Amino acid sequence: MRRVLATLAIAAALAAGAARAEDLAAGISRDKIEITSSFTGTDVVVFGAIELESGEALPATEMRDVVVVIRSDKPYLVTVRKKDQVGPIWMNRDQRRFAGVPGYYFLSSTRPLKDIASAEVLEQFEIGLDRIALGPAPGAIGGPREFREAILRTKMTQDLYSQHEGAVSFLSGSLFRTTVALPPNVPAGHLKVLVYAFADGQVTSSSTMTLFIDKTGIERGLSEFAHHWPLFYGLAAVLLSALAGFLASLAFRERH
């Protein structure tokens, strides 16, 4: 529902500004990242320009705010468990399941979000970590906000979620750019690169691109093996662990 509202909001904004329509042209420095065993993360530059349809640059008095959002195209189901102390033991006493959890979320903007648009507008486009639509999984019930905040804290600790207000800079006139530091554990798949231009608290234009994250070599083989044959993957992992422990014990005996 929120995505429908976001689409309608963009259409309304463009219709309202038809008399002075503008184009948002955006690009990325790389559209494909290959993850190998030596992958330690990489930087991607998102850049672009805002111009009038006539091809003229925007006047200095009509400068825009720009927000860049990069998020996983595939949402995940996530289970959050809460531990409570029962005597001397900590136990899982409560849990909640959430749907629509992006594996990766990055945000960069020209200014603090509160100075760019109202909370209602930002929520329509899921702009901001605290506005990601994390709803209960099918058949599950909603939970206290602390469960949702636990997801955000965990993802931020893993460098999979980040928000950088003021990190989009205008180089000259209507040209802008920002740098995205992709972590080594960025999930494979498609990342949506969404660029929004704001004026007077409303979206005036937008652009969407796709960044492909692909595993190669042995990493890809192991990932496909684990996905298609999870039982055999689990058994192989147990056997390898047991074998490693057995070989370690033999080495320890030989030294003593």
Same domain, 205 and 225: no
**Are 74 and 209 contacting, i.e. CB atoms less than 8 angstroms apart?**
no
| Res 37 pLDDT > 90 | no
How many folded domains does the chain comprise? Answer: 2
The burial of 88, by beta-carbon neighbours within 10 Å (0-12 exposed, 13-18 middle, 19 or more buried), is given as: exposed
Among the listed ranges 6-10, 121-125, 155-159, 225-229, which one has the minimum average pLDDT value? Answer: 6-10
Residue 205: closest CA among 4, 25, 63: 25
Residues 72 and 116 in one domain: yes
Q: Report the range of poorest mean pLDDT among 63-77, 181-195, 206-220.
A: 206-220
Determine the pLDDT at residue 16: 42
Asked if pLDDT for residue 215 goes beyond 50, the answer is: yes
Sign of the dihedral defined by the CA atoms of residues 206, 52, 211, 129, in that order: negative
pLDDT band of residue 255 (cuts 50, 70, 90) is low
251 and 125 co-located in one domain: no
What sign results for the dihedral spanned by CA atoms 33, 38, 41, 46? negative
Same domain, 117 and 80: yes
145 and 222 part of one domain = no
Q: CA 110, CA 225: separation in Å to the nearest integer?
A: 43
Place of tokens 């993802």: 155
Write the pLDDT tens digit of every residue in 147-159. 888 899 999 999 9
Q: Quote the domain boundaries for residue 170.
A: 2-215
Query: Is 217 a residue whose pLDDT tops 60?
Result: no
| In a shared domain, residues 47 and 71 | yes
What's the CATH code of the domain at 106? Answer: 2.60.40.1930
CA distance 31 to 67: 19
pTM (2 d.p.): 0.74
Lowest mean pLDDT segment, chosen from 40-54, 57-71, 133-147 = 133-147
Comparing 198 with 245, which gets the higher pLDDT? 198
Stronger pLDDT, 222 or 116, i.e. the higher one: 116
pLDDT tens per residue across span 67-121: 999 999 888 888 887 777 676 777 667 778 888 899 999 999 999 999 999 999 9
Same domain, 146 and 247: no
Better-predicted residue by pLDDT, 80 or 180:
180
Query: 156 exposed, middle or buried (CB, 10 Å; 0-12, 13-18, 19+)?
Result: middle
Check if the beta carbon of residue 133 is closer than 8 Å to that of residue 126. yes
